[in-house]
A and B are shown apart, each in its own frame.
Chain A
């Protein structure tokens, strides 16, 4: 598989309850909690699209959109 790139990291602020799970376990420290206790992406360029934050969010508030995957053949 080719390396994935992040296109968009969406946080649904209406659904986020501020548990901090996504921010605490992101190995790349992409997310932080803001003053309203909502998760916000702050270093999206470091995201490796592991999707663990999306999978661990108890509130289904995170959506990771990856760039169209580049086929391995294309990369050579």
Chain B
């Protein structure tokens, strides 16, 4: 199928700013689904609120646009009632890890078969550039005009520690890797977290003098490196990209089915 078969063309051109990284995630996600050959009606996309969450509206899957930070709770309900469907949850960094932080760690701990894509632009884009738990120490935001003094989470470490059984990171620059990782994450039977570093030229870029979308993508290329590379040994500051965790643990819906069966058999 062509890209246009996966989108709701009537909503295009989309509302994102010129050069917004969330559009690249949309692009990569469509290509991942296309490569996997999954039927559109076998996918449910559940999103919260944010520029990132608007991605659900543009895709011609079953889609559910819910509450800020609560997408994973809705997605858990969908998955438990229809475990045969592929559930994908795109999230902003604020959506996933500020207001939604608790849902995030517990979904990971349960290992429910959902694919969470954290579209990390290090800022609250939709509401005008407030800092997020991923902005990082020393950055500028509308709520941190004299620099942010909060340290940031490392999404990969947080998701791994919380129990996600597939954890990966890529960027909007590394589109081929991003697409392959999303494919693998969708196929993984358990809770998958894919962090995609995404640029918000309008707020994060402008405030932090990172230039336009092109400059921001060049910067992502510069500050990241494949997991375990020589470059990382020489420069520990580099951010690693690739698949960090890939393991099998009982999946939540199957485990729950077992409990139901036991209860019915009375033992």
- Contact residues of A with B, CB < 8 Å? 14-15, 17-21, 24-25, 52, 55-60, 63
Kindly list chain B residues whose C-beta atoms are within 8 Å of the C-beta of A63: 3
A18 to B213, CA, bound (A): 11
> B43 at interface (Cβ–Cβ under 8 A)?
no
Could you tell me if A25 and B26 are in contact, using CB atoms closer than 8 angstroms? no
- Contact residues of B with A, CB < 8 Å? 3, 7, 12-14, 16-24, 26-28, 30-31, 172-173, 175-176, 179, 212-214, 217
Could you tell me if B31 and A55 are in contact, using CB atoms closer than 8 angstroms? yes
| Interchain Cβ contacts under 8 Å between A and B, 23 examples | A17-B17, A19-B18, A19-B19, A19-B213, A19-B214, A20-B214, A24-B214, A25-B214, A25-B217, A52-B175, A55-B27, A56-B24, A56-B217, A57-B23, A58-B16, A58-B18, A58-B23, A58-B24, A58-B27, A59-B14, A60-B12, A60-B26, A60-B30
Could you tell me if B18 and A18 are in contact, using CB atoms closer than 8 angstroms? yes
A19 to B215, CA, bound (A): 11
- In the complex formed, the residue of A with least CB distance to B20 is A58
Kindly list chain B residues whose C-beta atoms are within 8 Å of the C-beta of A25: 214, 217
Smallest CB separation, B120 vs chain A (Å): 15
Kindly list chain A residues whose C-beta atoms are within 8 Å of the C-beta of B14: 59
Main secondary structure on chain B at its contact with chain A?
helix
Could you tell me if B176 and A60 are in contact, using CB atoms closer than 8 angstroms? no
CB-CB nearest 10 A-B residue pairs: A58-B23, A19-B19, A17-B18, A55-B175, A24-B214, A15-B13, A19-B18, A19-B213, A58-B24, A56-B175
Could you tell me if A58 and B22 are in contact, using CB atoms closer than 8 angstroms? yes
- In the complex formed, the residue of A with least CB distance to B19 is A19
Q: Which of A17, A24, A56, A60 contacts B172 (CB 8 A)?
A: A56
Kindly list chain B residues whose C-beta atoms are within 8 Å of the C-beta of A59: 12-14, 23
Could you tell me if A58 and B21 are in contact, using CB atoms closer than 8 angstroms? yes
Kindly list chain A residues whose C-beta atoms are within 8 Å of the C-beta of B13: 14-15, 17, 59
A69 to B176, CA, bound (A): 21
A2 to B27, CA, bound (A): 26
Kindly list chain B residues whose C-beta atoms are within 8 Å of the C-beta of A14: 13
A18 to B13, CA, bound (A): 12
Kindly list chain A residues whose C-beta atoms are within 8 Å of the C-beta of B30: 60
Kindly list chain B residues whose C-beta atoms are within 8 Å of the C-beta of A15: 12-13
- In the complex formed, the residue of B with least CB distance to A50 is B176
- In the complex formed, the residue of A with least CB distance to B217 is A21
Smallest CB separation, B34 vs chain A (Å): 11
Kindly list chain B residues whose C-beta atoms are within 8 Å of the C-beta of A57: 23-24, 27
Could you tell me if B213 and A21 are in contact, using CB atoms closer than 8 angstroms? yes
A63 to B5, CA, bound (A): 13
Could you tell me if B24 and A19 are in contact, using CB atoms closer than 8 angstroms? no
Q: Which of A19, A55, A56, A58 contacts B212 (CB 8 A)?
A: A19
